[in-house]
Every structure is written in structure tokens, then in C-alpha cells.
Amino acid sequence: MATLTMAKAINMGLRNAMKRDEKVVLMGEDIGKLGGVFRVTDGLQAEFGDMRVVDPPLAESGIVGTAVGMAMRGWRPVVEIQFDGFVYPAFDQIVSQVAKHHYRSAGKTTLSMVIRIPFGGGIGAIEHHSESPEALFTHTAGLRVISPANPVDAYEMIQQAIAHPDPIIFLEPKRRYWDKAEIDDSVDVMNKAEGYSRLFDARVAREGSDVTLVAYGPMVKTCLEAAAAAEGEGLSLEVIDLRSLTPFDIDTVVKSVTKTGRMVVVHEAPQFGGVGAEIAARITEKCFWTMQAPVLRVSGMYMPYPAARVEHAYLPDLDRILDSVDKAMEY
């Protein structure tokens, strides 16, 4: 057992995947000698060489396009987008090639590739460095979109994602890179009976009976803090960590909402057209007759991400979550 940050857990997961399969190649701006802006790939180029940990030119579209060609030839490229706000130059490649190739080839070829994107706010970054673009990818058929909320899941999910035959958008909550947990690195996660089958399963992060909080990535920890605070007020909140945005494990959420009768969805992205809207619609369809209150959403504002000095007012926090919980309980 080793106590690692999420960044180090992903690093260990990448190292294991590269040892397991020589076809795994890492590509991204400054991921080699520098080890990435967040040092997630620190030491990997020294261990595996500059032909498997590649520092390409600063051109996201070219990086992803090259990865597409490599995946078509049987390699398993893992692309790092340096910051969420830099993914847009590669958006055409992702939605036009990455997402559609399997369908366009009538299933004859696959693109087994992972695109890692540090996303979200909370680190006091400058403009274009704190985005939440997940809804753009969940709306695009052909992509799988996942996001770990803790170091243990990050360690396991990155390895399972690399081994998966489909293209995966791997959203890493940058504000949680320094959270720590114990990682059992003696267990080969790909030798478990379920392999990567549980990669797209949600998990019950905390059991409760009054209100279900649904979140993913950076907001899971905030929801757990809200649940702990609510306990002191006599409220029992169940926290669901989605882990996967598409496919969406609706069964786990339905089971929880059927028990509590109330649900609040929390994410950093703006509310309008966000992932929370789809979750709210699906749960309303499935649980209408058992719900005691409408589904409520807590999110970022419908505006460009603000300057770092005021991001605390933009991001969902414990108070905003508990306000929605109180509102749900009033119905």
C-alpha cells in the first residue's frame, strides 16, 4: 500500500499500462522532460524513452490527428490536453474522426485511444485554464466520457480506459490532483474478474435516506462535505459518484432516488444544457411516481469562467448545495 495523490496515482496507472502493453504511447505538450504541467507524467519518458512518451509540437489538432492514425494502425495512444481550455482546436478531430470512425467503418476498425483532459476550476488559474466542457463530449455519440473523483478510482480507471477498445475522454479534476488516498499497487486491476466492465458503473460514495446528491469529478468531495454537514442538522444525504457520464449508470441513481424521493444534481459546468439536465430528465421519467420533489440542480453560472479572484462565487459550494437540499425537503 502506498499513499498517493491523484496525480501520482494516474502516473502509476499509466506506468502499469505501458509495462503491460508496448503499444501504449503517451503524447502531449511538455509531458516528457517536464513531466506535464501537473507532473502527472513525471519520470515516464526517462523510464520508457522518447519514442513512447512524446513531446509533440504545440498543436492540439495535430496531436489528436496523429493519435487517430496511430490507433487505426493498432497502437493505443494516450493523449494529454494540457488544459481543458486548449481542447477546442482539437474538437473537430475528436467529433469528426475519433467519435465516428468505428461507425463509419461499419465496425471493422476501432480507435482504442484515451484523451486525458484536466478540467474544472478551483486552482486560481488564468483565462482559458478552468473550463468544464464535458457536455460537448457527452452530446457526441461514439465517445465514452468518464471522470474519477479520488486517487483510487483514478489509478484503476486510467488503466481500464487504456485497455478499452473504444475512444474515451478521461476528465481529470485538476483541483483534486493533490488529494491523497492509499493505493494497493500490488493488485493488477486488469486481472480482476470484471476487467474493465465496471469502468462505467456509478458508486454510492455515502449512504443516506432523505435526499440523493448526484455528482462527478471535482464535486463529489464537495457533496460529501455537504452530507457530513447536513448530518449535524438531522438530514441524511446519499451521495452518488457517477464516475461515467456516458454511458450513464441510470440504474444506480434510480435505486437511490426510489429510496430517498428527492435528488439534487451538482456540477461545475453551467446549468443550461449541462449534464445535470440530462440526468434530471432521465430520472424524472423513471422515478416520477415515487419522487417527493422536483429534481434540483446546483451548478456554475451561465457565463464565461470568471477571474480567479472571484471563482469562489462561481463554483458550487457547500452552502449552495445545502440550500437546494433544504428546498427539496420543503416540498
**Under-70 pLDDT residues of the chain:** 191-197
C-alpha 273/C-alpha 112 separation (Å) is 28
Query: Over the stretch 162-191, which tens digit does the pLDDT of each residue have?
Result: 999 999 999 999 999 999 999 988 777 776
Residues 292 and 209 in one domain: yes
Residues 183 and 285 in one domain: no
C-alpha 262/C-alpha 164 separation (Å) is 35
Q: Which of 199, 219, 245 is the last residue of a domain?
A: 199
Cell output for 298? 446546483
State the pLDDT at residue 188. Answer: 73
Query: Which alpha helices (H) appear in the chain, and where do they start and end?
Result: 6-20, 44-48, 60-72, 91-93, 101-104, 134-138, 151-163, 219-231, 250-260, 275-287, 311-314, 318-330
C-alpha 54/C-alpha 52 separation (Å) is 6
DSSP 130-187: S---HHHHHTSTT-EEE---SHHHHHHHHHHHHHSSS-EEEEEEGGGTT-EEEE-TTS
State the pLDDT at residue 184. Answer: 87
DSSP state of 273: T
Q: First-to-last CA distance in the chain?
A: 47
Residues 217 and 194 in one domain: no
The residues annotated with a catalytic role in the active site are 129
pTM over 0.85: yes
State the pLDDT at residue 186. Answer: 78
CA–centroid distance for 302 within its chain: 21
C-alpha 41/C-alpha 82 separation (Å) is 12
Going from the C-alpha of 301 to that of each of 173, 315, 323, the distances in angstroms are 18, 8, 16
Structural domain containing residue 19: 2-199
Residues 226 and 172 in one domain: no
State the pLDDT at residue 185. Answer: 80
State the pLDDT at residue 135. Answer: 97
Q: Which of 150, 175, 199 is the last residue of a domain?
A: 199
Going from the C-alpha of 277 to that of each of 72, 221, 294, the distances in angstroms are 35, 21, 12
State the pLDDT at residue 189. Answer: 78
Residues 177 and 210 in one domain: no
CA dihedral sign of residues 283, 220, 213, 302: negative
Q: Which of 199, 228, 245 is the last residue of a domain?
A: 199
Q: CATH number of the domain that 115 lies in?
A: 3.40.50.970
**CA 255, 259, 262: angle at the middle one, nearest 5?**
100
* Structural domains of the chain, count: 2
Q: CATH number of the domain that 274 lies in?
A: 3.40.50.920
Residues 64 and 7 in one domain: yes
C-alpha 269/C-alpha 271 separation (Å) is 6
C-alpha 125/C-alpha 311 separation (Å) is 9
3-state DSSP call for residue 59? coil
Torsion angle defined by CA atoms of residues 286, 289, 293 and 299, in that order, rounded to the nearest 10 degrees: 10
C-alpha 116/C-alpha 107 separation (Å) is 24
State the pLDDT at residue 192. Answer: 52
